[in-house]
A and B are shown apart, each in its own frame.
Chain A
Amino acid sequence: MIRSFYIAAKDLKAEFRTKQMLNSMFIFSLLVLVVFSVSFGDFLGDAEKVEKLAPGVLWIAFTFAGMLGLSRTFVMETENGCLEALMLCPVDRGAIYTGKILSNLAIVFLMEAVTLPFFIILFNYSLGIGTLFLLLLIFFLGTFGFIAVGTLLSALTLGTRTRELLLPVLLLPVLLPVLIPAVEATAGVLAGNSIGNLVPEIRLLAVYDLVFFVISHLVFEYVVSD
């Protein structure tokens, strides 16, 4: 288990040195928010309409920015045959998968946290500190499911020539069960609901996260060995 952390720490060290993935994801998600906020300019005074639109816009930004990052996560490993080197280490394949999840989760979640203030400004929200934490919790749960599946599919599409195209096409349908509750929960939080009112969505997200983590963990071994 500790070796998963070593893998994640290594990834994060490399990522923070270049910030390639982080920067491109952040700029992408920011652009999506700006485009939507400009094109919905007229509505922004109307709180009711904003409430209906904004959560979806936010998750569109996160999902596509996240995919941008995911399609790169194993590229670093394949550059000098490093994935092979990892598979030669005395750890089981599951530990490699968990390590990758941890680093992807950290990077994508960070991107989301940095995007949040811009979202609040662009869509004219004023949120209390409690609401912010609740929002981050929802982000985390939604992102975990996204990363659990995305990391697996990213490994799966590794050997294909069209990986950048294939990944979103495969990933989006599988993600619907996590995106829908994530958007609903986000809308709930932004509308001022307390955690008590969001239990069904949170429970759904947690279950999805768990199920996909376990399944992907088991399947990963067959994905990386040919």
Chain B
Amino acid sequence: MENAVSIRELSKVFGKTPVLKALDLDLRKGEFAVIFGPNGAGKTTLLKLISTLIEPTAGSVFVSGFNITEEPEKVRKEIGMLSHDSYLYGDLTAKENLHFFGKMYGIDGQELEKRILQLLKEVGLVTKADERVSTFSRGMKQRLSIARALLHRPSLLLLDEPYTGLDPGASLVFENLLKSPEFQGSTKLMVSHDLERGFALCNRLLILDKGKFVYDGFKTNFSGFQEFREKCGSMLA
């Protein structure tokens, strides 16, 4: 079976600073991997490379078999991104935002209407559907940006510190959506500073430091979070 993500010798240099150094990584379909690592390790850069936002200096990345530099549009269709930014237009309503992005992903008509309603229900924003996003509270914006990221049923979810700023309610919504049958089969790559939460959700653990993976293993290698922290905590200091 082809891998959801396949990275070979991936390097990224900004100016003269090497940020990622010849990374290799394979994610199987349905895997939930979490990347830990200190600030500036290159975690966000890695997600931006996979999502075609920036181009690699060397090496290759395949998403569902598509090369990110050769078929970027096919790659983008597969990807749902949740980042620090909400990716929402403040002057548009919740519904209009989802409408716009839905159409950009090629969803249309009845199907889009149904999808939007379903997602608004799941994130608990049905009553706010026609209000402008700029009037939303932070938590509401975050719920909506979760809906936005999942709109086109991405097969690969890239999550860059999704918990920063999420209130407990929105965190729960988020976790339930990740566990829902719809996204059970999708591959997830999450960057997080929240060790305990990340450990609980994932089945594969990666630690990135100074542009190299210093740890790559499965959760089953550990009896529990305590053991993981004892063994790997030093790599994150």
Contact = CB atoms under 8 A, between A and B. Distances in A.
A18 to B, nearest CB: 6
Contacts of A226: 54
Contacts of B88: 80, 82
B91 A14 contact: yes
Given A3-B103, A17-B91, A88 B86 contact: no
A80 B101 contact: no
A6, A85, A86, A225 pick with most chain B CB within 10 angstroms = A85
A81 interface: yes
A88 B85 contact: no
B228 interface: no
A85 B101 contact: yes
Contact of B104 (A6, A13, A76): A6
A13 B105 contact: no
B73 A10 contact: no
Contacts of A14: 89, 91-92
Interface in A37-71: none
A173 B10 CA distance: 42
B45 to A, nearest CB: 11
B105 A90 contact: yes
Contacts of B90: 79-80
Band of interface residues on A = 20 to 34
Interface stretch (B28-36, B74-82, B114-122, B200-208): B74-82
Contacts, number: 75
B52 to A, nearest CB: 8
A121 interface: no
Given A10-B89, A80-B90, A88 B53 contact: yes
B106 A90 contact: yes
B155 interface: no
Contacts of B105: 89-90
B46 to A, nearest CB: 15
A80 B77 contact: no
Contacts of A13: 91-92, 96
A218 interface: no
A84 B84 CA distance: 12
Contacts of A86: 104
B92 A80 contact: no
Band of interface residues on B = 20 to 34
A20 to B, nearest CB: 9
A225 B53 contact: yes
B96 A92 contact: no
A92 B87 contact: no
Interface in A204-226: 225-226
B76 A90 contact: yes
A159 to B, nearest CB: 14
A199 interface: no
Contacts of B132: 17
Interface string A21-40: 00000000000000000000
A195 interface: no
Given A81-B87, A225-B54, A89 B101 contact: yes
A120 interface: no
Contacts of A90: 73-74, 76-77, 104-106
B225 interface: no
A128 B59 CA distance: 65
B100 interface: yes
Contacts of A10: 89, 92, 96, 100
B60 interface: no
B67 interface: no
Nearest to B102: A6
Nearest to B91: A14
B192 interface: no
7 closest Cβ contacts across the A-B interface? A81-B85, A85-B87, A14-B91, A89-B104, A90-B76, A90-B73, A90-B77
11 contacts: A6-B100, A10-B89, A10-B100, A14-B89, A14-B92, A76-B89, A80-B89, A88-B51, A91-B104, A225-B54, A226-B54
